[in-house]
Amino acid sequence: MSELLRLTGVSRRFSGLQALRDVNLSVARGEVLGLIGPNGAGKTTLVNTICGVTPANTGSVVFDGKDITRIKTYQAARLGLSRTFQIVQPFAEFSALDNVAAAALFSQPGASLKSAREAAREHLAFVGLEAQAEQSAATLTLAMRKRLELAKALAMKPKLLFLDEVNAGLNSAEVERATKLIHQLAADGITIVMIEHLMKVVLNVCTRIVVLHNGHPIADGPPREVISNPAVVEAYLGQQYAQRTARHG
């Protein structure tokens, strides 16, 4: 698999807080990479740093052969870096359809509203929201707003899709539904980096896991191997989880 993203020596500070420290990371095309770690480990900051929200203080980010270390967020989006946000914030008064059409228009400047809405309908159908297309985003349930967020990200035609806790706050049936969608996207060849606290989901969909702790990767490798790594158990998963996994696989 060829390399799509490479971070070399990336660090990011907020005043006195070192949120990322000397991060080296490579993502290959077609991978589904799970980014895990304790609260405050720097996972969202890492995504923000790649996408230009909080650029690296030192180090470099190369995406699809281009140096994007100092890129602006809108340029990152147009290059094919697309993301969902942990806290979803759709245009509340817009319909679900027009929320997604707005994203489609952004990624294809000059496209007509008609064609953007056509594309939006396809993305809404993919996430199972076609029946809610004309409803205002404000009236959707949390699970629906999470799926709307995914449809918006897909309308940007991502080469690399970041999913930031898409399952947070969902019940088990909703998590199962979201997991199926992620499997489908991966099967379609979209490279995915997902921040996820639900280990069941991580183990189900990820081809590789990177664990961040205090802003630095402490493990990187195949899921089963990483979750039994003593440093990962110590920093994040805890003994209880390790014993449960050893018992039940």
Residues in touch with ligand ATP (CB under 6 A): 14, 17, 19, 37, 39-45, 54
Phi, psi of 186, rounded to the nearest 5 degrees: -65, -40
Phi, psi of 133, rounded to the nearest 5 degrees: -55, -40
Shortest Å, Cβ 153 to ligand ATP: 18
Shortest Å, Cβ 249 to ligand ATP: 26
Residue 19 or 50 having the CB closest to ligand ATP? 19
Residue 14 or 91 having the CB closest to ligand ATP? 14
Shortest Å, Cβ 44 to ligand ATP: 3
Rounded Cα gap, residues 99 and 9, in angstroms: 37
Residue with tokens 């990820």, as numbered in its chain: 206
Shortest Å, Cβ 165 to ligand ATP: 7
How many CB atoms are closer than 10 A to CB 69? 19
Residue 116 or 170 having the CB closest to ligand ATP? 170
Phi, psi of 13, rounded to the nearest 5 degrees: -120, 145
Shortest Å, Cβ 100 to ligand ATP: 25
Rounded Cα gap, residues 70 and 196, in angstroms: 27
Residue 17 or 113 having the CB closest to ligand ATP? 17
Residue 88 or 155 having the CB closest to ligand ATP? 88
Shortest Å, Cβ 189 to ligand ATP: 27
**Dihedral class, residue 9 (left if φ above 0, else alpha if ψ from -120 to 50, else beta):** left
